[in-house]
Amino acid sequence: MKVQDVMSREVLACGPDDDLGRAALTMWKGDCGVLPVVWGGRLVGVVTDRDICMGLALEGARPSERRVREVMSREVYSCIPDDDLGDALETMASRRVRRLPVVDGDRLVGIVSMNDIVVHAEERGHPPVRQILATLRGICRPHAKPQQAATAKRTAAA
């Protein structure tokens, strides 16, 4: 099964110069938690509802005072329409993301989410539930806290 078989083709997006209020409103109206960031037709990042929340809370700023480019992730994990769905699930698990922009070159053509995959699996029985659970396990594993990471490095070096 290919990514193009389950991806959403109607994708809401924003630009890097949009303010965070506009991005949040787009997410609210579209009932989504992430927006691809597109500039000049190219995918240049992604912004999540968490990025917006933390970007505002930590700076004490108003949504109209901050731009998407200030809080977006520039390191974007993506896939192409012809990718195997299993490969997309592996990327989601290893990179700990619930959604992957789907690109043709650097042009955004869709997005595939865990929601898309679960709905598809429920309707057609593919991918297998065990593969979906393994992906969710990878996505949901806790981040190592800085203190834990330093202890793990010292232990490994000993």
Hey, where are the domains in the chain?
3-142
Q: What is the pLDDT of residues 57-77, one digit of tens each?
A: 988 889 999 999 999 999 999
Q: What is the pLDDT of residues 15-27, one digit of tens each?
A: 999 999 999 999 9
Domain spanning 3-142: which CATH class is it, in words?
A: alpha beta
| 3-state secondary structure labels for all residues of the chain | CEHHHCCECCCCCECCCCEHHHHHHHHHHHCCCEEEEEECCEEEEEEEHHHHHHHHHCCCCCHHHCEHHHHCECCCCCECCCCEHHHHHHHHHHHCCCEEEEEECCEEEEEEEHHHHHHHHHHHCCCCHHHHHHHHHHHHCCCCCHHHHHHHHHHHHC
Please report, rounded to a whole number, the percentage of residues in the chain having pLDDT higher than 90: 67
Q: What is the pLDDT of residues 40-56, one digit of tens each?
A: 989 999 999 999 999 99
Q: What is the pLDDT of residues 92-129, one digit of tens each?
A: 999 999 999 999 998 999 999 988 888 877 677 667 67
